[in-house]
Amino acid sequence: MLELKELYKTFNPGTINAKTALNGLSLTLNDGDFVTVIGGNGAGKSTMLNATAGTFFVDSGKVIIDGSDVTNLPEHKRAAFIGRVFQDPMMGTAPSMWIEENLALAARRGQRRGLSWGVTKEEKEQYRELLGGLGLGLESRLTTKVSTLSGGQRQAL
């Protein structure tokens, strides 16, 4: 479940360029809910998603995921609870890295990292199985650079 409670966010507060993007936004989504967010330019759609993901902190209000208040957690810690598929397929992937490396980075989101071997044999096999289910032919291309993939293939990663 995702709950947004009375979110407020103003960019450049106290200046002539102040822009209130979220003004008391509240929203509750239960597991399995499907939502379409519609609005014109500057309506706050991206701001709402970025505030939820922790790209920046809100001025006030609460972000609650599965009953846990994550309002003060930075983006890398919220990554353990939430993921996004970006409209722009260039976002959310590292184009100069291989498919398996991108998947390993995604699998480790929100976890402590240290120095170790990049991708284990077990992980490679898991990635082959996952990619095989997509029907995009990526399961045999784990060592292909992401920059060579189509936009749809990148979004699938």
The full 3-state SS of the chain, as one line of letters, equals: CEEEEEEEEEECCCCCCCEEEEEEEEEEECCCCCCCCCCCCCCCHHHHHHHHHCCCCCCEEEEEECCEECCCCCHHHHCCCCCCCCCCCCCCCCCCCEHHHHHHHHHCCCCCCCCCCCCCHHHHHHHHHHHHCCCCCHHHCCCCEHHHCCHHHHHHC
pLDDT of residue 149: 83
Domains of the chain (ranges plus CATH)? 2-77 (3.40.50.300), 99-156 (no CATH)
pLDDT of residue 94: 84
User: By CB neighbour count within 10 A (0-12 exposed, 13-18 middle, 19+ buried), where does 131 fall?
Assistant: buried
pLDDT of residue 113: 67
pLDDT of residue 40: 85
Q: What is the pLDDT along the chain (157 residues), one digit of tens a residue?
A: 999 999 999 999 999 999 999 999 999 999 999 888 998 888 899 899 999 999 999 999 999 999 999 999 998 888 888 877 777 667 778 888 889 998 988 887 766 666 666 788 999 999 999 999 988 889 999 998 988 888 788 878 8
CA distance 109 to 37: 26
